[in-house]
């Protein structure tokens, strides 16, 4: 090609040469990365622009509350924080049962900005933390991809993909102040450092990798993904006969330092040596020592038999170690897989044994539209990228393959783990698309050869075929290049369309599906204008202003964090579902009749009960739709007193209208949801718009609770638990008296009239 | 003189036996317990069912009403029967002196049609538990039998055991002991050794396959395609393979974002696979075609596939997600 450029440079060639200067390329790359980061941040701001700078959903409210506590009380108090305002009356050792990484990160940013005399509200830091870190994630994806290929444009594409793909945006929009907000950056960056350490065999990079691994452990429970993937990668490498001192140095450095770092987190503590999900890392660490020893001996000695003996011995030791692990697990020294992890393998496990895990919507398996929705065209570029990894199949490519396989399995089992799959999809898809583009976008075309030359290449290709035993079949014949401009134009045109469509898709998905704070709901008025439904905050504000500081609120656990964060009132259960029995108690109170529920509520000093009801508005995420889970969880603890079957009609239907079962109609949840609801409608027209059924004309009667507050659209209903009756009657009798009924007891006892004879 | 009370007391049971036709509860229990020792659970018929569950009882009865005959096609009955037998056997073995005073029994529909009718049972299996009505363990207020729910979860002897144990407080609950399956162990050990031996012998022939990069690439890609097209969802939710569209035809795609059909995921996996393959072909194969004309044809072919299939994929996605606004030309 040097000939072509020397003779007569075409305009295209000039342009290409212009980009060849090294410093200019670096400048361009930095600029492009900055733009990508900008795009990543700005595409996450929909909700802030549409609504306001507000914390989203459920868990973020707890993180926000914890961050405020950290800012107010300092690090040491935060570390020792015992929270008596949740899980009443148990309380929660919050400092020892959370991943502090997120709060400490935003606390550090807050103090740094303060030190720079930039006055900023902690809420804004919390809201904008996830978008800010998404820019960093894009950069980490760029670094990771550059380790995989020599083609530098692949890294930029991967950064762009990572920046805007909905699979990652789903958990990192502004306001989604959750652990994943920083954890995905740490995940990708840790993997980058691991690859770097492995490639160089350097202790420095291994230590850096361990450092970021420690940060990751401090931030998100998903760190176990790294804990399992890195040993698995090493194991596959050893099995492929690719043991090297580089592997030894990087793995042992990472494991030793990383485990020490992870044990500094109180919530993790001694888990890395005591639970099964950490055992692969420990096992591979020991295995690697053995392998290293044997390789050392082999280098010192010789003889085929000795070698064979050693390898058999290696296999035997591996098998024995596995047996010992099983024995120690059954003897109880090592905790077996925790429920959440175990349910990833035995997918039916959670549904039978831990309904509380199965009840969470993000723990459901993933249907294919969700993959396409979250990843769009990357989903089919991804296998192509993995295939390309088999071309060279260096150590780092093995990593991509292993990660891809396991990531896609986990993402298929649990919707939530789409998040861990997304980085590798972006990397692999970027490798495929950049190679496609660089093949078809190169200005140079090969010269059409004459038949005589073709024979030569034919024989050449045959030779390479014989040589290449370990390479891909599709790479057997020699590389020629693309001849015609038609081909180049066609393919690059299609790719351009797809890339543009990808951007449109991502923007559309982000704007439509992932930018709702779910605390504030948006709806459209008939004239097309936006109408904001703000019932949640209305109700929480009511609680904050109208109830005692220590009034205990009972609600289903979904709303625990929000009540704690927004209303600042103690709750019985919240989204940190650590105590199944306590949650089942609330479930029992909700699903039993008033006579059973009232003593439970008294025992737990409940002052107010909060339910979410969507019947008026057609809001489907309400408590009646979640009700069966409450029943199931309560049934798990009290199978004699709560029975799911009784909530179904004899024909097996779950109904809330006039045909509902007696148990259903008498349950506290049903009564609280539909209390007085029929009065909103003209007689005979009371309708539940979520279930789409007509309700009976007489609503349920509540004896032990008073309606205290109902929000504008009836989404939140709050009831006050009545105190004991002054005169010592039971509540049913007292309420019946208040309604103007006579005492029934007297008439019954009187008996038949008899003539009095004196 | 001293013998008289003894004689009297000995004669008393005989006297009651002669005087009262229905046997005392204790006798009924002993009667059925001896039966149970030979075969447990006791096989009942209409008559013996009535006798066993007759009202003054100082013992408990657990009856499984089942329909084992192939005519009824009761899959659940056949699945549960071995578990029930296992539970009854291990209970009897663990409680030799019958301290828990419970009789395990089975009533098949073919033997006890009248009982099924009198209980107005529509479905089988049904597990009834009759608590004692008299004696120290009598549960006051419980008249009829208690019914076990077969609706939730797989049927394991342990679960039923826990349920029965709940209704027998203060009495021994011998645990379910599963017999060691020696045959399975033997088969397992022999087959493991066999496979290991075969591998050792055939190693030189298998090794090239195991080390073949193309094979691994194919396996990885198939795995990824399977998982990303919702195979695990099918496994966990046990979705039907195809569904009718209500007009006698077959619908290949279920509407709705959260559900899918078995066939549908296979179509999707196939489309993903073809799209990936065309991308791979364009990257790897096409630039290696030495003949310019041939290469042109290949490029046109693969681009056409790439374009058409993606457009088709988008059109399928619009079925699943009604509001999806994007589409590409041929399948608008």
Is pLDDT at A541 greater than 80 in this prediction? yes
> Do the beta carbons of residue A288 and residue A252 sit within 8 Å?
yes
* Residue A459 pLDDT: 47
| Cα Rg of chain B (Å, integer) | 34
* Residue A531 pLDDT: 84
Is pLDDT at A6 greater than 50 in this prediction? no
**CB nearest to B290's CB, from A366, A368, A480:** A480
Residue A718: strand pairing partners: A610, A709
pLDDT band at B1 (very low <50, low <70, confident <90, very high): very low
Is pLDDT at B246 greater than 60 in this prediction? yes
| Percent of chain B residues past pLDDT 70, beyond the cut | 90
* Domains parsed from chain A with CATH numbers: 534-742 (3.40.50.12610)
* Residue A752 pLDDT: 61
CB contact under 8 A, B227 and A408: yes
CB contact under 8 A, A347 and B235: yes
Q: Residue A296's closest CA among A275, A283, A310, A281?
A: A310
pTM of the model: 0.81
Question: In the block, which residue shows the tokens 């361990």?
Answer: A210
Is pLDDT at A464 greater than 60 in this prediction? no
Alpha-carbon distance B263 to A34, whole Å?
A: 44
Alpha-carbon distance A672 to A611, whole Å?
A: 7
**CB nearest to A366's CB, from B233, B281, B300:** B233
As given in the structure block, the two tokens for residue A396 are: 């780092």
CA angle centred on B40, ends B37 and B42, rounded to 5°: 105
> Do the beta carbons of residue B218 and residue A474 sit within 8 Å?
no
**CB nearest to B299's CB, from A371, A391, A487:** A487
Q: Which residue has the higher pLDDT, A756 or A250?
A: A250
* Residue B102 pLDDT: 84
Q: Poorest-confidence range of A18-27, A449-458, A654-663?
A: A449-458
Alpha-carbon distance B303 to B297, whole Å?
A: 10
pLDDT digits (tens, 9 = 90+) for A684-735: 888 888 888 888 888 888 888 889 999 988 999 999 998 888 888 888 888 8
* Residue A330 pLDDT: 75
Q: Which of residues 244-283 of B touch A (CB under 8 A)?
A: 257-260, 264-265, 268, 271-273, 275-277, 279-283
| Residue A571 DSSP one-character state | B
Alpha-carbon distance B74 to B82, whole Å?
A: 14
| B276 φ/ψ angles, rounded to the nearest 5 degrees | -60, -40
CB atoms within 10 A of CB A744: 10
CB contact under 8 A, B230 and A367: yes
Is pLDDT at A9 greater than 70 in this prediction? no
Q: What is the mean pLDDT of residues A153-174?
A: 92
Is pLDDT at A15 greater than 70 in this prediction? no
Alpha-carbon distance B199 to A492, whole Å?
A: 49
A154 exposure class (CB count in 10 Å sphere: 0-12, 13-18, 19+): buried
Q: Poorest-confidence range of A21-30, A154-163, A316-325, A601-610?
A: A316-325
Q: What is the mean pLDDT of residues A272-278?
A: 84
Q: Which of residues 440-469 of A touch B (CB under 8 A)?
A: 440, 448-449, 454, 457-458
Q: What is the average pLDDT value for chain A, to the nearest integer?
A: 85
pLDDT band at B251 (very low <50, low <70, confident <90, very high): confident
As given in the structure block, the two tokens for residue B32 are: 């059925």
Q: Poorest-confidence range of A443-457, A528-542, A638-652, B198-212?
A: A443-457
For residue A128, the Cα-to-chain-centroid distance in whole angstroms is 18
pLDDT band at A466 (very low <50, low <70, confident <90, very high): very low
Alpha-carbon distance A359 to A351, whole Å?
A: 8
| Percent of chain A residues past pLDDT 70, beyond the cut | 88
Q: Which residue has the higher pLDDT, B183 or A426?
A: A426
Q: Which residues contact A77 (CB under 8 A, 6 or more apart)?
A: A69
Alpha-carbon distance A422 to A415, whole Å?
A: 12
Q: Residue A717's closest CA among A623, A597, A634?
A: A623
Is pLDDT at A12 greater than 80 in this prediction? no
DSSP A608-625: EEEEE--TTTT-SSSHHH
Alpha-carbon distance B143 to B130, whole Å?
A: 9
pLDDT digits (tens, 9 = 90+) for B19-54: 445 567 778 888 888 887 877 788 888 888 888 887
Tell me the nearest-neighbour CA distance from A428 into chain B, angstroms.
12
Q: Poorest-confidence range of A303-312, A316-325, B316-325?
A: A303-312
Three-state secondary structure call for residue A250: helix
| B183 φ/ψ angles, rounded to the nearest 5 degrees | -60, -45
Is pLDDT at A480 greater than 80 in this prediction? yes
Q: What is the mean pLDDT of residues A148-177?
A: 91
| A325 φ/ψ angles, rounded to the nearest 5 degrees | -60, -45
* Residue B312 pLDDT: 93
pLDDT band at A65 (very low <50, low <70, confident <90, very high): very high
pLDDT digits (tens, 9 = 90+) for A494-509: 999 999 999 999 999 9
Crossing angle, helix B262-280 and helix A368-375, to 10 degrees? 40
CB contact under 8 A, B211 and A367: no
ipTM of the complex: 0.83
Tell me the nearest-neighbour CA distance from B196 into chain A, angstroms.
13
| Percent of chain B residues past pLDDT 90, beyond the cut | 17
User: In B164-282, at which residue ranges do the beta strands (DSSP E only) sit?
Assistant: 243-244, 250-251
Residue B312: strand pairing partners: none
Does A370 contact B at CB distance below 8 Å?
Answer: yes
pLDDT band at A124 (very low <50, low <70, confident <90, very high): very high
* Residue A248 pLDDT: 95
Is pLDDT at B2 greater than 60 in this prediction? no
Q: What is the mean pLDDT of residues A113-142?
A: 93
Element spanning A531, H or E: strand A530-533
CA within 13 Å, CB half, B177: 11
pLDDT digits (tens, 9 = 90+) for A373-405: 999 899 999 999 999 999 888 899 999 999 999
pLDDT digits (tens, 9 = 90+) for B64-95: 888 877 777 777 777 788 888 888 888 888 87
Q: Residue B275's closest CA among B297, B303, B300, B296?
A: B303
Q: Residue B16's closest CA among A603, B8, A414, B156?
A: B8
pLDDT digits (tens, 9 = 90+) for A578-611: 788 899 999 999 999 988 999 999 999 999 999 9
**CB nearest to B230's CB, from A352, A412, A491:** A412
Alpha-carbon distance A544 to A91, whole Å?
A: 20
Q: Residue A69's closest CA among A48, A89, A95, A91?
A: A95
| Residue A695 DSSP one-character state | P
| Residue A724 DSSP one-character state | P
3-state helix, strand, coil in chain A (%, to 5): 65, 5, 30
3-state helix, strand, coil in chain B (%, to 5): 55, 10, 35
* Residue A3 pLDDT: 41
* Residue B143 pLDDT: 63
Q: Which residue has the higher pLDDT, A327 or A102?
A: A102
Is pLDDT at B15 greater than 60 in this prediction? no
Q: How far does chain A reach from its first CA to its final CA, in angstroms?
A: 134
CA angle centred on A677, ends A672 and A682, rounded to 5°: 165
Residue B128: strand pairing partners: B63, B147
Does B316 contact A at CB distance below 8 Å?
Answer: no
Element spanning B106, H or E: strand B102-108
CB contact under 8 A, B257 and A370: yes
Element spanning B62, H or E: strand B60-66
CB contact under 8 A, A379 and B310: no
Alpha-carbon distance A54 to A562, whole Å?
A: 12
Is pLDDT at B106 greater than 70 in this prediction? yes
CA angle centred on B163, ends B160 and B164, rounded to 5°: 90
Tell me the nearest-neighbour CA distance from B244 into chain A, angstroms.
20
């Amino acid at each position: 090609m040097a000939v072509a450029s020397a003779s007569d440079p075409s305009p295209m060639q000039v342009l290409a040469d212009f980009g060849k200067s090294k410093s200019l390329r670096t400048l361009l790359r930095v600029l492009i990365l900055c733009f990508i980061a900008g795009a990543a941040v700005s595409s996450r701001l929909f909700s802030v622009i549409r609504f306001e700078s507000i914390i989203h959903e459920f868990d973020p409210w707890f993180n926000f509350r914890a961050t405020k506590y950290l800012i107010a009380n300092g690090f040491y108090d935060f570390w020792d924080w015992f929270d008596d305002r949740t899980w009443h009356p148990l309380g929660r050792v919050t400092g020892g049962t959370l991943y502090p990484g997120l709060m400490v990160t935003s606390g550090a940013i807050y103090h740094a900005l303060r030190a720079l005399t930039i006055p900023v509200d902690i809420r804004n830091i919390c809201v904008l933390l996830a978008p800010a870190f998404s820019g960093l994630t894009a950069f980490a994806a760029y670094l990771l991809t550059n380790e995989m290929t020599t083609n530098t444009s692949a890294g930029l594409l991967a950064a762009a993909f990572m920046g805007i793909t909905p699979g990652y945006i789903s958990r990192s929009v502004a306001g989604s102040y959750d652990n994943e907000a920083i954890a995905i950056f740490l995940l990708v960056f840790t993997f980058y450092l691991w690859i770097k350490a492995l490639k160089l065999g350097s202790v420095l990079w291994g230590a850096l990798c361990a450092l970021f691994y420690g940060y990751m452990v401090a931030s998100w429970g998903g760190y176990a993904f790294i804990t399992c993937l890195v040993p698995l990668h090493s194991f596959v490498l050893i099995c492929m006969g690719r043991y090297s001192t580089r592997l030894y140095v990087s793995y042992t450095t990472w494991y030793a330092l990383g485990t020490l770092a992870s044990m500094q987190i109180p919530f993790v503590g001694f888990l890395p040596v005591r639970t099964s999900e950490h055992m692969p890392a420990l096992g591979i660490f020991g295995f690697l020592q053995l392998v290293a020893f044997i390789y050392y001996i082999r280098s010192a000695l010789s003889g085929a038999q000795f070698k064979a003996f050693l390898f058999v011995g290696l296999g035997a030791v591996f098998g024995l170690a596995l047996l010992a692990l099983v024995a120690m697990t059954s003897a109880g020294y090592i905790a077996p897989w925790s429920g959440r992890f175990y349910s990833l393998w035995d997918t039916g496990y959670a549904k039978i044994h831990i309904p509380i895990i199965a009840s969470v919507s993000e723990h459901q398996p993933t249907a294919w539209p969700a993959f396409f929705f979250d990843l769009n065209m990357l989903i089919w570029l991804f296998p192509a990228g993995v295939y390309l990894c088999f071309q060279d199949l260096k150590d780092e490519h093995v990593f991509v393959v292993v990660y891809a396989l396991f990531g896609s399995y986990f993402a298929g089992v649990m919707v939530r783990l789409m998040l861990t799959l997304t980085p590798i999809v972006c990397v692999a898809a970027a490798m495929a698309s950049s190679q496609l583009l660089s093949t078809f976008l190169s200005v140079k075309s090969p010269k059409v050869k004459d038949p005589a030359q073709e024979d030569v290449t034919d024989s050449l290709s045959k030779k390479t075929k014989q040589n290449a035993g370990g390479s891909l079949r599709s790479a057997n014949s020699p590389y020629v290049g693309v001849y015609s401009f038609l081909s180049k134009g066609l393919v690059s045109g299609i790719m351009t369309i797809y890339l543009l469509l990808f951007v449109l898709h991502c923007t559309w998905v982000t704007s439509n599906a992932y930018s709702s704070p779910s605390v504030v709901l948006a709806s459209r008025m008939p004239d097309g204008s936006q109408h904001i439904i703000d019932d949640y905050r209305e109700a929480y504000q009511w609680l904050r202003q109208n109830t005692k500081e220590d009034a205990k609120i009972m609600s289903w656990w979904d709303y625990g964090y929000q009540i704690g964060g927004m209303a600042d009132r103690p709750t019985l259960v919240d989204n940190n579902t650590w105590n199944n029995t306590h949650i089942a108690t609330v479930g029992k109170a909700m699903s039993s009749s008033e006579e059973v529920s009232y003593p439970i509520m008294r025992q737990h000093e409940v002052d107010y009960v909060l339910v979410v009801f969507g019947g008026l508005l057609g809001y489907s995420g309400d408590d009646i739709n979640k009700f069966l889970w409450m029943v199931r969880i309560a049934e798990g603890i009290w199978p004699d007193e709560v029975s799911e079957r009784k909530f179904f009609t004899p024909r097996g239907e779950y109904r809330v209208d006039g045909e509902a079962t007696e148990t259903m109609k008498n349950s506290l949840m049903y009564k609280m949801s539909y209390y007085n609801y029929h009065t909103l409608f003209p007689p005979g027209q009371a309708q539940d718009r979520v279930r789409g059924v007509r309700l009976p004309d007489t609503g349920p009667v509540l004896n032990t609770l008073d309606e205290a507050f109902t929000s504008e659209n009836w989404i939140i209903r709050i009831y006050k638990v009545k105190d004991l009756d002054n005169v010592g009657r039971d509540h049913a009798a007292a309420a019946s008296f208040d309604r103007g009924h006579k005492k029934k007891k007297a008439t019954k006892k009187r008996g038949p009239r008899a003539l009095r004879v004196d | 003189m001293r013998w008289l009370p003894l004689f009297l007391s000995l004669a008393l049971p005989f006297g009651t036996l002669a005087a009262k036709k229905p046997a005392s509860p204790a006798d009924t229990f002993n009667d059925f317990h001896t039966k149970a020792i030979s075969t447990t659970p006791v096989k009942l018929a209409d008559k013996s069912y009535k006798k066993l569950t007759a009202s003054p009882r100082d013992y408990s009865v657990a009856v499984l009403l089942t329909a084992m005959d192939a005519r009824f096609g009761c899959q659940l009955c056949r699945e549960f029967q071995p578990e029930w037998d296992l539970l009854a056997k291990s209970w009897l073995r663990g409680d030799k002196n019958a301290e828990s005073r419970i009789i395990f029994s089975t009533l098949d529909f073919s033997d006890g049609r009248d009982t099924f009718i009198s209980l107005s049972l529509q479905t089988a299996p049904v597990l009834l538990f009759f608590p004692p009505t008299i004696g120290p363990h009598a549960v006051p207020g419980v008249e009829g039998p208690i019914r076990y729910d077969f609706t939730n979860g797989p049927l394991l002897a342990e679960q039923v055991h826990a349920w029965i144990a709940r209704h027998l407080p203060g009495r021994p609950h011998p645990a379910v002991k599963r017999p060691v399956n020696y045959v399975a162990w033997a088969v397992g050990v022999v087959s493991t050794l066999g496979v290991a031996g075969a591998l050792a012998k055939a190693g030189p022939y298998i090794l090239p396959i195991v080390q073949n990069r193309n094979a691994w690439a194919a396996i990885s890609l198939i795995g990824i395609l399977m998982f990303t097209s919702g195979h695990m969802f099918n496994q966990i939710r046990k979705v039907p393979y195809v569904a009718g569209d209500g007009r006698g035809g077959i619908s290949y795609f279920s509407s709705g974002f959260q559900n899918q059909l078995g066939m549908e995921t296979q179509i999707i996996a196939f489309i993903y696979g073809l799209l990936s393959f065309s991308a791979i072909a364009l990257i790897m194969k096409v630039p290696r075609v030495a003949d310019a004309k041939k290469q042109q044809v290949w490029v046109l072919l693969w681009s056409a596939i790439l374009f058409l299939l993606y457009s088709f994929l988008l059109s399928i996605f619009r079925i699943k997600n009604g509001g999806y606004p994007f589409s590409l030309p041929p399948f608008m």
